[in-house]
Amino acid sequence: MKSTFRVLFYLRKNEVNKSGNSSIMVRITVNGEQVQFSSKLQIKPELWDTKNGKAIGKSAAAMNTNRLLEAISAKANELYHKHLSEYGYVLPEKIKNIILGVDSDRRKMLLEHFAEHNEFYVLKIGKDTSQITANRYKLTMLRLQEFLKVEYNLSDIPVFELTPVFVEKFFLFLRNTHDCSNNTALKFIQRFRAVFYYIKNTGADIKINPFGSFKFRTTKVVREILTQEELDIIYKKEFLTERLGQVRDIFIFMCYTGLSYIDVAQLTEDNIKTAFDGHQWVMTKRQKTSVPSNIRLLEIPLAIIEKYRGQQVNGKLFPICSNQKMNEYLKEIGIICGINKVITCHIARHSFGTTVTLANGVPIETVSKMLGHTDIRTTQIYAKIVDQKLSTDMDSLAKNYKRRKYTNK
């Protein structure tokens, strides 16, 4: 939607001072949102052109008044286009404060800024970001609130008081109080830093970068995957409850398509299409990145689709429970199947990228496209897992031949 902007000058005619003058007011409107404030200029009502919003006549006083009003209008226009270009949105209140010389950013507190950031971030959902990411920013703000209360007994803190020590303490608070892993805690710090730069870019006078000396050292994580044997065990297992059977079916579908939980939850029958090659494909966009993800359906996921086709009243493809519930059921399924791994929805995606595709000779470029990755380097993580598995398999092979050698002696 195109942004609308207008600057209007009008007279406060109902308030006339002893000299017979009225204040000239400024009204700034951005997308229907208005602010009014005094221009600090005054004029007699009979010398004011209501229609054109300026002083009447060619006198020195009239010309000086109009010149000052034009300066206010030009400044407002300049600020409007600057903010629209840099941030993608404009706050009329912000324009007013800058024109009046009000240092609102210095007085505004950290969590106030954070709340403002989150409000605008919500407007990006469905365009540049997702509800999941917006929720993570909300959680980061909540953790900061808790930290301020526990560490400093404060409800908020001025932005210019943020220091490198504050950031380090917050990181340790996340690790110790909320038992976050190193990488999870770093994600919180990254979101905190993003909001800090948002604050700085709005024009706040901040002298010190509290994140300047912080070291973002991620810990290498071994991604859990399921082997083909484990996939087969889960797929063939008979469960006593219908819900476990449904969760198993959806999980196996994810393992053979590489789709994430949220992407599968949003699938409808319209996403299943016959492609140019005559085969059935899932054609969708990743909810996280909006990148197209097209996956040809193999025999097993096709059978699962047919099992549930036309049964959902809301047009969805599968009967989906919440992500949290799904992971709880998957943990139970792992125990029932005798698999000594913590099975989650995300393991399905990893298993598709390794066991189902790369380990079977599918080129990494093809896998990257099916997974909807925006950078093939992300997909190369799966390739490393395959290399590790190949190395482990070759170690086992070498041991077998070594035993065989000694047995034949």
Q: For 289-301, what is each residue's pLDDT tens digit?
A: 667 778 889 999 9
In angstroms, the Cα distances linking 21 to 8, 47, 55, 237, 333 are 19, 10, 12, 88, 81
What pLDDT does 33 receive?
87
What pLDDT does 93 receive?
84
Select from 31, 27, 33, 35 the least CA-distant residue to 4.
31
pLDDT tier for residue 311 given thresholds of 50, 70 and 90: confident
Going through 171-267 in order, the beta strands assigned E by DSSP cover none
**Hey, what amino acid is at 245?**
G
Q: For 4-39, what is each residue's pLDDT tens digit?
A: 899 999 998 888 888 889 999 999 999 888 899 998
**Hey, what amino acid is at 265?**
A
Q: For 216-271, what is each residue's pLDDT tens digit?
A: 888 876 678 899 999 999 999 999 899 999 999 999 999 999 888 888 888 888 88
- Give the mean pLDDT of 166-195: 94
- Give the mean pLDDT of 62-79: 92
pLDDT tier for residue 405 given thresholds of 50, 70 and 90: low
- The enclosing H or E element of 43 equals strand 33-43
Going through 229-380 in order, the beta strands assigned E by DSSP cover 272-274, 280-285, 292-296
What distance in Å separates the CA atoms of residue 400 and residue 133, rounded to the nearest whole number? 49
Q: For 129-152, what is each residue's pLDDT tens digit?
A: 778 888 999 999 999 999 999 998
> Which two structure tokens, joined as six digits, stand for 302?
């096709």
What pLDDT does 231 receive?
94
Residue ranges of domains in the chain, CATH in brackets: 5-100 (no CATH), 104-201 (1.10.150), 228-394 (1.10.443.10)
Mean pLDDT in the chain? 86
- Cβ neighbours of residue 209 closer than 8 Å, sequence gap 6 or more: 196
What pLDDT does 328 receive?
94
DSSP, collapsed to helix, strand or coil, labels residue 323 as helix
- Residue 158: phi and psi, rounded to 5, are -60, 145
> Which two structure tokens, joined as six digits, stand for 66?
């109009």
Q: List, in sequence order, every residue forming a beta bridge with 33; answer none if it has no partner.
A: 30
- The enclosing H or E element of 394 equals helix 376-407
What pLDDT does 178 receive?
94
The alpha carbon dihedral of 363, 365, 371, 377 has a sign of positive
What distance in Å separates the CA atoms of residue 381 and residue 298, rounded to the nearest whole number? 24
- Give the mean pLDDT of 313-337: 90
What distance in Å separates the CA atoms of residue 106 and residue 205, rounded to the nearest whole number? 7
pLDDT tier for residue 106 given thresholds of 50, 70 and 90: very low
Residue 313 has pLDDT above 70, yes or no: yes
0.85 surpassed by pTM: no
What distance in Å separates the CA atoms of residue 370 and residue 301, rounded to the nearest whole number? 15
